Amino acid sequence: MRVSSKVSLLLIVLVAGGAWLATAEALTPDPGNPPSKVKLDIREWPVPWEGTRPRDPAVAPDGTIWFVGQQGDYLGHLNPKSGEMRRFELSKGAGPHTVVVDKAGYPWYAGNLDRHIGRLDPATGKITRYDMPEGVDDPHTLVWTSDGRLWFTAQRSRPAGYVGLFDPKTGKTQAIQVPGQMMRPYGIVVDANDRPWIAFMGKNAIGSVDPATMKLEIIETPDTRSRIRRLGITSDGCVWWVDAAAGYLGVYDPKTGKMRQWPSPGGERSSLYAVAVDAQDRVWYVETGPDPNRIVGFDTKAEEFVSINEIPSGGGAVRHMVFDKPTNTIWFGTDTHTIGRAVVP
């Protein structure tokens, strides 16, 4: 990637229990688009239930796909081999946001508008509901730990949001109130040590929770304009973020405390959203600003952009993606009412 100039920044980052130093490099935009060295093979399946915002797909152990209808109060199920789709109704006003699938194949979802986490039995359609503690009003994004618990975010709960840990075995939730005002904890991922990392949409920051002490750390990113939607983690433990407001792809190394960031090919108005990391530690994310939306690939080892791929349906907005290692595919939902699959070479 060509860079016209580079400026070193020194940040003092306030965290729970003290302050420490982090360095970052701010890069000015490259005027040219990167060459597409890597091409994705993209296919989309139309969702027949219009006006329901299908999103946030998850891959089940049998290779089928679950997704939510955020504005339709349902869980959707896609068999990619046959193309068959089924709809499982949730309670009216559930406002499902994110679905994840356990090892037994049962989908779990966040009832974002109705203060609960739910589990669906596909054989019977029965929902088992777990209500949130007082103050946790909008469970948002869910992610599994290795021992079968769920970390989640609640972005609009007053005053600044919550990060929670839900145990399906006991039905109990531990909730951590985020300090400040309207921090909006949004995307969340878990590293190899079951430590959660959180994106904040209300401030230029990411965060992390120590699972042993349940202490939350908040780490500022270089540009005060930035608002972080989603995160990805590479095999070296580095945390990658996409910036919805200022158009940067960034990385934080927990071992050194250093940060770097690169301007996205689409520029400041590219409105970065969904992100996934593949088996080769390439970061894939979506520019939702352009029409059609574009899936951009970044090689984290070579530190260069290697791919730009337009979404055939246009996308509208792609809000969340997951990488499925057994099939080397990325799955995503679109505001143009499709469930999409991108085969990664």
Amino acid 272: pLDDT: 98
pLDDT at 280: 98
Can you give the pLDDT at residue 136?
Answer: 97
The domain that holds 229 is classified in CATH as: 2.130.10.10
Task: Tell whether 299 is covered by a domain.
Answer: no
What is each CA distance from 167 to 82, 113, 117, 143, in whole angstroms? 35, 21, 11, 12
Q: Is 269 among the domain residues?
A: yes
287/303 Cα distance (integer angstroms): 19
Q: Is 164 among the domain residues?
A: yes
pLDDT score for 36: 76
pLDDT digits (tens, 9 = 90+) for 218-258: 999 999 999 999 999 999 999 999 999 999 999 999 999 99
Total domain count, the chain: 1
- Per the domain annotation, does 214 fall within a domain? yes
Q: Is position 22 within any domain?
A: yes
Burial label for 104, CB within 10 Å (0-12, 13-18, 19+), is exposed
Q: How confident is the model at residue 34 (pLDDT cuts 50, 70, 90)?
A: low
Question: Does residue 44 register a pLDDT over 60?
Answer: yes
Check whether 24 has a pLDDT greater than 60: no
Peptide bond into 29 cis (omega under 30): no
Give the pTM: 0.90
Is residue 153 pLDDT above 80, yes or no? yes
- State the pLDDT at residue 159: 94
What's the distance, CA 10 to chain centroid?
Answer: 28
Distance CA 255, CA 263 (A): 24
pLDDT number for residue 15? 32
Structural domain that includes position 215: 6-294+307-343
User: Above 90 in pLDDT, residue 160?
Assistant: yes
User: What's the mean pLDDT in 160-172?
Assistant: 97
pLDDT cut 70: percent of the chain above it: 90
Higher pLDDT, residue 262 or 3: 262
Please check whether residue 258 is in contact with residue 274, taking contact to mean a CB–CB distance below 8 angstroms: no
pLDDT at 14 over 60: no
Kindly report, residue by residue over 184-211, the tens digit of the pLDDT: 999 999 999 999 999 999 999 999 999 9
Say which range, 29-43, 76-90, 269-283, has the weakest mean pLDDT.
Answer: 29-43
CA distance 49 to 71: 10
Whether residue 300 lies inside any domain: the answer is no
Q: pLDDT band at residue 33, thresholds of 50, 70 and 90? A: low
Give the per-residue pLDDT at 35: 62
Say which residues have a Cβ less than 8 Å from residue 170's Cβ, sequence separation at least 6: none
Confidence band of 294 (pLDDT split at 50, 70, 90): very high
Mean pLDDT value across residues 25-53: 76
Residue 78 has pLDDT above 60, yes or no: yes
Residue 302 lies in a domain: no
pLDDT tens, residue by residue, 268-278 = 999 999 999 99
Q: What Å distances lie between residue 123 and 88, 105, 107, 126, CA to CA?
A: 11, 11, 12, 8
Evaluate whether residue 254 is within a structural domain: yes
Q: What is the pLDDT of residue 318?
A: 98
**Which of 184, 180, 153 has its CA nearest to residue 166?**
153
